[in-house]
Amino acid sequence: MALIVDVFPARSDNFGYLAHDEASGRTAAIDAPEAGPIKAALARRGWTLTDILITHHHIDHVEAIAELKSASGARVVGPAAEADKIEELDELVGDGDVVELGDTRFDVLATPGHTLGHVVFHDSVGGHLFSADALFSLGVGRMFEGTPGPMWAGLERLRALPDATLVYCGHEYTESNARFALSIDPENAALKKRAEEVKSLREQGKPTIPFPLGEDKLANPFLRADAPELAEHYGLTGADPAEVFAAIRKGKDNF
Ligand code: ZN
Ligand code: FE
């Protein structure tokens, strides 16, 4: 049996996700952006919330924990490295840990940078990656707490996951990410193709999520910090990819 993922909008530009393990009937909210849309999705599906998996401490990912937990008694799992910043965590996890949701096993990977303790949840059997603000479609979260070296190293590990992996990220930022990506990597055919798809999805009011990791490996400049053409764009030919990554991140911040 499989993992079924329900995708819905929450807050102004967050995604909410329910991950439902068919075999056991367990259902996890991935992050807790807003109680209303999460409860509505549960009701629509007829699922009961049993778990809440938290990626990082930002308010738009944790605000509904208390309300959901008191309504459902769900187990709350989150990053040990941010335990002092997140209330109501029952279980603390870090890189290399496994979170079980019935028959589904999520590997926990540390992805520091957006926040220092940010983690992502990877179901390697079903091919689902819940990346929150560590990896967006055609972009990455702002580097609020980390430094370029570890942030790039975390992304390299995500990049090593199979191409067919479906990525569920925290926000619908794809269209503006595409504009920036095209400005620094204009000859990239995979990027141009993805940007066209994104434009048409958004024109139809559809989400650009989930997206196959394999497409993003070719099109997301932040996953291509070791590509010669991006180093060249920033006058950094031969430099450490982490340095190119830092230049791309800075470029996006000022775009
Ligand atoms: Zn965030
Ligand atoms: Fe966020």
Q: Is the pLDDT of residue 1 over 90?
A: no
CA 189 to chain centre: 24
Among candidate residues 20, 57, 61, 122, the one labeled active-site is: 61
Find the largest Cα–Cα distance for the chain.
55
CA 158 – CA 179 distance, rounded (Å)? 23
User: What are the extents of the domains in the chain?
Assistant: 3-253
Whole-model pTM? Answer: 0.98
Q: Which residues have CB under 8 Å from 47's CB, separation 6+?
A: 6, 18, 20, 25, 27
User: Can 58 be counted among the known catalytic residues?
Assistant: yes
- Across residues 232-240, what is the average pLDDT? 97
Strands 104-110 and 98-101: antiparallel
Cα 12 to middle of ligand 1, angstroms: 14
Instruction: State the pLDDT at residue 125.
Output: 97
**Which phi-psi region, left, alpha or beta, contains residue 147 (left: φ > 0; alpha: ψ -120 to 50)?**
beta
Instruction: State the pLDDT at residue 56.
Output: 98
Cα 141 to middle of ligand 1, angstroms: 7
Measure the N-to-C terminal CA separation of the chain; round to a whole number of Å. 45
Q: What SS3 class is residue 183?
A: helix
Give CATH for domain 3-253. 3.60.15.10
Instruction: State the pLDDT at residue 44.
Output: 98
Q: Is the pLDDT of residue 171 over 90?
A: yes
Among candidate residues 20, 57, 114, 128, the one labeled active-site is: 114
- Across residues 203-229, what is the average pLDDT? 97
pLDDT per position as a tens digit, 135-144: 999 999 999 9
Q: What is the DSSP letter of 92?
A: E
pLDDT per position as a tens digit, 69-102: 999 999 999 999 999 999 999 999 999 999 999 9
CB 3 within 8 A of CB 22: yes
* Peptide bond before residue 210 is cis, with ω within 30 degrees of 0: yes
Cα 197 to middle of ligand 1, angstroms: 26
CA 226 – CA 244 distance, rounded (Å)? 7
68 falls in which pLDDT band (50, 70, 90)? very high
Cα 59 to middle of ligand 1, angstroms: 8
CA 59 – CA 7 distance, rounded (Å)? 20
Q: Is the pLDDT of residue 145 over 90?
A: yes
The chain-wide mean pLDDT, for the chain, equals: 98
